[in-house]
Amino acid sequence: MTLLNETHDPALRSWLASANAPGSDFPVQNLPFAVFRRKAATPSETWRGGVAIGDAIVDLAALTKTGLLTGLAGEATEAGAQDKLNALMAMGPRAWGALRLALSRALREGAAEEAPLRACLVPQSEVEYDVPARIGDYTDFYTSIHHATNIGRQFRPDQPLLPNYKWVPIGYHGRSSSIVVSGQGFHRPLGQTFPPGSSAPVFGPCKRLDIELEMGVFIGPGNALGTAVGMNEAEDHVFGLCLFNDWSARDIQGWEYQPLGPFLAKNFASTVSPWVVTLEALAPYRLPFTHPEGDPQPLPYLNSEANRAQGALDIQLEVRLQTPRMRDAAEAGARISRTSYRHAYWTVAQMVAHHTVNGCNLQPGDLLGTGTLSGPTLDQAAALIELTEGGKKPIELPGGETRTWLEDGDTVTLQGWCEKPGAARIGFGQCAGTVLPARSA
């Protein structure tokens, strides 16, 4: 478990004024990572890693050329300057911590490194982003008991939760090739559905397109095939967290998921936020983790004293929906849900430990999805299938519009942040995607 250190001091201020602005996602206490390049890049402009500070990015490729950071921090800077963050992710917590500490000190008010580091800054308004890592494998979990119960109640009113849910972290293997970065649109998927009253399935565009508000967990150092990662080491294998929207075609899913689970209903598009917030930055927002009284306690391989003491994370999460009419009127998206990651039934460490207990080998840059992170009340539901009770109760939006499922042109934006008295605000930026019309069959 990451302990608090000097980088978390809420009194720290940066010489970059925008990092000190109230409500900033990226103060000097955060320092998340992304992959970027300038917009309208020339052929010589390559993708490279960067670190957010206020409204700017520390260009790690430019920083490497200055020789400003040396030792382990310098080695981590070189690894992070590549076109993907996999090499940096593979280095492990000591390297990540060394780079974070060196940047924290260099970005603080009064730092001697201000002048050379200013020359390495790029305005965020001038860049475009790529997926942060070369994702070899992607596994989606099902860690919200509230989401599982809400969904189960629609199909099994007498037994919403299946017997295994409180014992084992449920997951399925997803498709990494269709994961895109925030800001990209995707076409409404085509597929087979079985409409009520039909005698045979039909083929065509999805009519019940949904969102899934999740967190993404990027793996750092991997483990060898045939070995398991224990609970006490699990978080050493986690680089950081991002926002994640696992778009879902509910009508395709309802027809295809038995007996093997999600397939075409899930693999057409998933969206990640560009910024990855390290576990170290989230240390002030840890909470004790417990299962409710009366529920089974985790089996020994999913249990540890450290996980019980501070395995949960209080990350505030929000979903906003902007219709084409809102966009044409220059209106912001309407908030349709707000929840927190603290409600998850399984922690980050438990996901890693369970994933590897059978000898499965994780690799740097692999992505784990938490599953839809619905909270205990309906206004904290994180998918339209819950918010509309299976499509029976449309959501009312400003201006008289309603939504049961997503329509073409809709933009969904996820936001995440941590905030409390006595600690600096830590933000994740945004994770946005827009629904484009289906391609012709």
> Ramachandran region of residue 117, left (φ > 0), alpha (ψ -120 to 50) or beta?
alpha
Q: What is the DSSP letter of 85?
A: S
Residue 441: predicted pLDDT: 66
The CATH H-level (homologous superfamily) assignment of domain 6-130 is Fumarylacetoacetase, N-terminal domain (2.30.30.230)
**Please, where in the chain does CATH 3.90.850.10 lie?**
138-436
The CATH code of the domain at 138-436 is 3.90.850.10
Per-residue pLDDT of the chain (441 residues; tens, 9 = 90+): 458 999 999 999 999 999 999 999 999 999 999 999 999 777 778 999 999 999 999 999 999 999 999 999 999 999 999 999 999 999 999 999 999 999 999 999 999 999 999 999 999 999 999 999 999 999 999 999 999 999 999 989 889 999 999 999 999 999 999 999 999 999 999 999 999 999 999 999 999 999 999 999 999 999 999 999 999 999 999 999 999 999 999 999 999 998 988 999 999 999 999 999 999 999 999 999 999 999 999 999 999 999 999 999 999 999 999 999 999 999 999 999 999 999 999 999 999 999 999 999 999 999 999 999 999 999 999 999 999 999 999 999 999 999 999 999 999 999 999 999 999 999 999 999 999 999 986
Distance, in Å, from the CA atom of 184 to the CA atom of 166, rounded to the nearest integer, reads: 36
Do residues 408 and 273 lie in contact, with contact meaning Cβ atoms separated by under 8 Å?
no
Positions annotated as catalytic residues are 147
**Please, where in the chain does CATH 2.30.30.230 lie?**
6-130
Distance, in Å, from the CA atom of 347 to the CA atom of 169, rounded to the nearest integer, reads: 9
Strand partners of residue 272: 181, 244
Sheet holding 48-53, edge to edge: 121-123, 56-59, 48-53, 33-38, 127-130
